[in-house]
Structure 1
Amino acid sequence: MSQVPKRSEIAAEHRWKLEDLFSSQSHWDKEYAAAKALNKEIAGFQGKLNDPAQIKACFEMEDELSLHVERLYVYANMRHHEDTAEPEFQALSDKAKKLSVETGEATSFIMPEVLALPVETLDAYINDPSLSLYRHTLEEMKRQKAHILSKNEEALLAQVGNVSSAPGTIFGMLNNADLKFPKVKNEEGEEIELSQGRYIQFMESKNRDVRKGAFTAMYDTYGKLKNTLAATLNANITKNIFYAKARKYDSALGMSLYGDNIPTEVYTNLISTIHEHLPLMHRYMELRKKLLGVDELHMYDLFAPLVEEFDMEISYEQAKDIISESLKPLGEDYLKVLQDGFNNSWIDVYENEGKRSGAYSWGAFGTHPYVLLNHKDNLNSMFTLTHEMGHALHSYYSDTNQPYRDAQYTIFLAEVASTLNEALLMDYLLNKSTDPKEKMYLLTYYADQFRTTVFRQTMFAEFEKIVHERAEAGESLTPQELSKIYYDLNVKYYGPGMVVDKDIEMEWARIPHFYTSFYVYKYATGFSAATSFSKQILEEGAPAVERYLGFLKSGGNDFSINILKKAGVDMSSPEPIRQAMSVFEDLIQQMEQIAK
């Protein structure tokens, strides 16, 4: 295999142009000094945030300071990601991180001071024309007021912070460092040590004995530690209930959704609507059984390839052309910005020695977004490119249409734009495909996204809801009880066509997201919202595109649920999930036709 090239060997047109952010190191140093000075200066507002003029001046300085820090931090880290072994940029990244922490401390007085104002005064400031630019900020602060405690109580809760992170830290150490897995046989019959990273490769093996061996070994290992892992998960649930009570929330779920102002119906609707559509999942499992040609479908067959690996060689240049074609439904303006990104060094394309792995879209307000890739000439990389450009264009439209403070969108919205691009690319490829083998490969790829992103994440979300409600009702969550809840959910979700192996009851013990509670539902809602948007765009055309671009331009100028609602996707209703399910049903029908 050829050597991974050095950074200097990558052609200029395939490297991002960070000079658009800072033209030189001395330019960065100058802005760093300005930020350090503002950190000292902003302290002058302490104790004075009691009239509109002072609040406005303080917010303006906070914006200026925050933008400096964002630009410095993003640049330093992107330089570091180009070559993580380069000591100069390691140091720059550390310097930016320290500045970010200092700034957090320097500005920490602002919110408590504003919240100390009487409610009627806050209401008057929200409606004060001189503070119109900060209306959403003040509304958000007022909304938080009911759950902010006295100064002493807040200080006490802050001290509990390190203790409360213990369950997640302990789980991380146990799961990543201390757990040792046995050796299992690979396709060649060699004994290979199982690891978290290798597990999925074993599960994707064409050899059923390899899959079964890895599956059994994985869950046997967790089973031996079930008491410790149950105690760790219980500690995390107890922590959530403690904070919910301390901050006067009705429940741990209510507390988790409050930050993004998401009504609990969004969460419960997702679960109940997916329940309505479980027969589709069961139908997909029956189809999977037929395509694999097995008498019984087991849990270790879920990742087995359904069709021969269809080798789609797609160069970077071809990928850009195909993506441009697939996004034509979004209109001229969107395509123009997309081409700007493709042609003007927004993207760092290929792997080089020391470069950070994976892919992301990032950037700072006031400069175009950037995308980091490690592009390979295959289907996966093409989907990664359109996904990251979805994020990049969302940021571009937010930044060019909103003031700095309102441009930042929430994580609840973040995956919508990226997943929509993937949905339009998939629709384009499926319509263009004439080879049944290629079509089946694409359909499988897409159907499995529904299985893993919508059904599986909703099952996780339901598990979290059940265990927190039981704990809140004072019930005990023994390892046996956790395993029973989890096993029963698998039976419900996968249906009668699946042999739900007893080993799967221990899977709850290895899901890191259960330590970032009530988070996974966002994957399912984001995917459903994007699928709903793509369906509307492909069926309605211009009016739906107009609404969608309005969504991209909104940034974070309102609460997430309202931004989506204005654009025609009401996540407080079951409709977007139902629309996504109709797309899933169509995929299954197409697969069944080919499989006849």
Structure 2
Amino acid sequence: MNEVLKRGEVPAEHRWHLEDIYPDQAAWDREYAQVRAQIGEIASYQGKLNDAASISACFAKDDELSLLAERLYVYANMRSHEDMADSKYQALSEKAKKLSVEAGEATSYITPEILSLSEETLKGIIADPSLKPTYRRTLEEMLRRKPHTLSKSEESLLAQVGNLSQAPSTIFGMLNNADMKFPKVKNEKGEEIELTHGRYIQFLESRDRGVREAAFKAVYDTYGKWRNTLASTLNANVTKNLFYAHARHYPSALEMSLFGDNIPVSVYDNLISTIHEHLPLMHRYMALRKKLLKVDELHMYDLFAPLVEEFDMDIGYEDAKKTVYDSLKPLGDDYRKVLQEGFDKGWIDVYENEGKRSGAYSWGAYGTHPYVLLNHKDNLNSMFTLAHEMGHALHSHYSDESNEYRDAQYTIFLAEVASTLNEALLMDYLLDKSKDPKEKMYLLTYYADQFRTTVFRQTMFAEFEKIVHAKAESGESLTPEELSAIYYDLNVKYYGTDMVVDKDIAMEWARIPHFYTSFYVYKYATGFSAATSFAKQILSEGQPAVDRYLGFLKSGGNDYSINILKKAGVDMSTPAPIEQALSVFEGLIEQMEQLTEK
């Protein structure tokens, strides 16, 4: 489908069925009125939360209110994503958002009131056999967080500081996306094209090395001119983290960040140390990249250059569905039955249309099936996107089906496991089927670069964040020169002697938005490693590993993330899952080396 249609012209079979949530606008309006009424009712529990019965009744009402408010919000937003220019659904989305805020405000008294009870009283309520397990877990989590929960007046003050705390991220976003302008760069045809964030990667993927180098130098020269402002902005973000860590009595900003998911600091440190031990694999891949590109020196601007000659994989949507279905055979009949239901019964909004939200995602509301938004193109990347988003969707399906509302939401730490596992199984299937050496090399480089960007690069980012915060915590200043030196040295360590680490790359820290969502990027590397470990176990062990994995999908958020993974056979507190993932990476390199020698 090359022509971009208007929303009304999109065939029904290529649209998601949001009618499965609300059959019409009148149904949405009725539920909206119901939530408004319940917002008033929830206040009746205030001042009474001092025993298991009252807390249970309040939690039940809170769950009902939250579930309905979420469903209204999800529906309104997904409708608006069908055509972002449709003012009707923009207004509905805003209406639902305001309702969610009101619901949040109406229930904000619950946690402080429960935590005002003595620890002895709270432990007695937790031990009450009449308390549902899901409510017991909520109270246990409140008790775990109590040492870091401040007095009512202090919490109020921190809440007021909340808007100020967003300033570093907001300033960086405005500077990076609105104020900073890049020069023009000549493309392969010699035409001068203005460099933008969106075009930068396209330039780096050019087969013309001169184009790649010019774009690379233009980007970092521009960031270099703003180095003092950007260093001050990043510094302010680090200072904010240190302030909150100190105010909430955490030993460090890193520990504060990991506390929410109850992730031990050892998991973060273990990732970095295990990657360090296996950096020779990354260096070996760089040596192979240098050989395949046939260059005397491999530079940083060569990292995204295509390694194989033009190879076009034209994959229509129907073929993509069939290939994804076939590739997930190792997960068993039940999994593929649900997958087929998703394909056939209106879970997916397939093609681009005028005004449709860009990108792809999986979303939904508890009590209805999940949904997937795509902007499908007939290529390899879109097929992997389909596999990825359906991984999320089936994770949500199994989680919702197996848990009460309060336990169904899985954490961000777990979120990318199911999606990445589907990609790993799809890649294994394609590599096994492929007989064309050019196609095989294309697939191998596609997969190897995922390891490079998701495991190694994100771990390097995580290490940079750790070093920078540790220096700030010890009272050292983070000057532009200091930030650049730290970042440059990490690149030298990670890429090895076959890479010429251009001095320009020292400024890359200045353009990474994730550094303003501190200590987040490590989850990409751990999620990818956990998924690759699962895939390896499933392909080698068969049914026992499949059963453990389906148990993982069904766990939702009914335990801490690290425990859910451990029960399923992936212990992220040890190096084993990361080492299993890296053994897959080593196998890819070996296959690429063999093809190169032929």
Q: TM-score, normalised by structure 2?
A: 0.99
User: Can you give the 5+ residue segments of structure 2 that lack an aligned partner in the other structure?
Assistant: none
Q: Could you tell me which amino acid in structure 2 is paired with residue 19 of structure 1? A: E
Q: Could you tell me which amino acid in structure 1 is paired with residue 43 of structure 2? A: A
Q: Could you tell me which amino acid in structure 2 is paired with residue 230 of structure 1? A: A
Moved more, 179-188 or 276-285: 179-188
Report what 1:178 is aligned to.
179
Q: Could you tell me which amino acid in structure 2 is paired with residue 39 of structure 1? A: I
Cα distance in 1 between the residues matched to 2:557 and 2:35: 25
Report what 1:11 is aligned to.
11
Does the residue aligned with 1:131 lie in a helix, a strand or coil? Answer: coil
Asked whether 1:348 is paired with 2:349, we answer yes
Q: CA deviation at 1:85?
A: 1.1
Cα distance in 1 between the residues matched to 2:505 and 2:146: 43
Q: Could you tell me which amino acid in structure 2 is paired with residue 291 of structure 1? A: L
Moved more, 369-378 or 124-133: 124-133
Q: Could you tell me which amino acid in structure 1 is paired with residue 97 of structure 2? A: K
Once the two structures are superposed, residues 352-381 of structure 1 have per-residue CA deviations (whole angstroms, 9 ceiling, x without a partner) of 111111111111111110111111111111
Report what 1:537 is aligned to.
538
Asked whether 1:595 is paired with 2:593, we answer no
User: Can you give the 5+ residue segments of structure 1 that lack an aligned partner in the other structure?
Assistant: none
Does the residue aligned with 1:125 lie in a helix, a strand or coil? Answer: helix
Instruction: State percent identity of aligned pairs.
Output: 78
Moved more, 498-507 or 134-143: 134-143
**Matched ranges for 1:571-590 at <5 A:** 571-590=572-591
Report what 2:236 is aligned to.
235
Cα distance in 2 between the residues matched to 1:128 and 1:344: 44
Cα distance in 2 between the residues matched to 1:231 and 1:577: 35
Report what 1:361 is aligned to.
362
Asked whether 1:44 is paired with 2:44, we answer yes
Runs of 4 or more off by more than 3 Å in structure 1?
A: none
**Matched ranges for 1:21-100 at <5 A:** 21-100=21-100
Asked whether 1:202 is paired with 2:203, we answer yes
Does the residue aligned with 2:131 lie in a helix, a strand or coil? Answer: helix
Cα distance in 1 between the residues matched to 2:218 and 2:543: 53
Q: CA deviation at 1:125?
A: 1.7
Cα distance in 2 between the residues matched to 1:350 and 1:471: 48
Equivalent residues of 1:204, 1:305 under 8 A apart: yes
Q: CA deviation at 1:2?
A: 5.6
Report what 1:425 is aligned to.
426
Cα distance in 2 between the residues matched to 1:272 and 1:295: 31
Cα distance in 2 between the residues matched to 1:585 and 1:85: 48
Shift of the 114–160 alpha-carbon distance from structure 1 to 2, 3 Å rule, reads same
Q: Could you tell me which amino acid in structure 1 is paired with residue 539 of structure 2? A: L
Report what 2:409 is aligned to.
408
RMSD (Å), alpha carbons? 0.9
Does the residue aligned with 1:22 lie in a helix, a strand or coil? Answer: coil
Report what 2:125 is aligned to.
125
Q: CA deviation at 1:3?
A: 3.9
Moved more, 249-258 or 7-16: 7-16
Asked whether 1:220 is paired with 2:221, we answer yes
Equivalent residues of 1:443, 1:591 under 8 A apart: yes
Once the two structures are superposed, residues 412-454 of structure 1 have per-residue CA deviations (whole angstroms, 9 ceiling, x without a partner) of 0000000000000000000000000000000000000000000
**Matched ranges for 1:372-383 at <5 A:** 372-383=373-384
Once the two structures are superposed, residues 14-68 of structure 1 have per-residue CA deviations (whole angstroms, 9 ceiling, x without a partner) of 1111111001111110000000000111011111111111101100000000011
Once the two structures are superposed, residues 295-335 of structure 1 have per-residue CA deviations (whole angstroms, 9 ceiling, x without a partner) of 00000000000012311111111111111110000011101
Q: Could you tell me which amino acid in structure 1 is paired with residue 544 of structure 2? A: P
Report what 1:278 is aligned to.
279
Cα distance in 2 between the residues matched to 1:18 and 1:308: 43
Moved more, 252-261 or 313-322: 313-322
Once the two structures are superposed, residues 564-595 of structure 1 have per-residue CA deviations (whole angstroms, 9 ceiling, x without a partner) of 00000000111000000000000000000001
Q: Could you tell me which amino acid in structure 1 is paired with residue 111 of structure 2? A: M
**Matched ranges for 1:116-515 at <5 A:** 116-132=116-132, 133-515=134-516
Q: CA deviation at 1:229?
A: 0.7
Equivalent residues of 1:309, 1:441 under 8 A apart: no
Once the two structures are superposed, residues 215-255 of structure 1 have per-residue CA deviations (whole angstroms, 9 ceiling, x without a partner) of 01100111111111111111110110111011000100000
Once the two structures are superposed, residues 129-171 of structure 1 have per-residue CA deviations (whole angstroms, 9 ceiling, x without a partner) of 2212311111111111010011111111111111111111111
Cα distance in 2 between the residues matched to 1:356 and 1:242: 37
Cα distance in 2 between the residues matched to 1:348 and 1:196: 27
Q: Could you tell me which amino acid in structure 1 is paired with residue 87 of structure 2? A: P
Q: Could you tell me which amino acid in structure 1 is paired with residue 353 of structure 2? A: N
Cα distance in 1 between the residues matched to 2:164 and 2:310: 48
**Matched ranges for 1:532-571 at <5 A:** 532-571=533-572
Does the residue aligned with 1:280 lie in a helix, a strand or coil? Answer: helix
Once the two structures are superposed, residues 268-315 of structure 1 have per-residue CA deviations (whole angstroms, 9 ceiling, x without a partner) of 000000000000000000000000000000000000000123111111
Equivalent residues of 1:312, 1:379 under 8 A apart: yes
Cα distance in 2 between the residues matched to 1:78 and 1:152: 38
Q: TM-score, normalised by structure 1?
A: 0.99
Q: Could you tell me which amino acid in structure 1 is paired with residue 446 of structure 2? A: Y
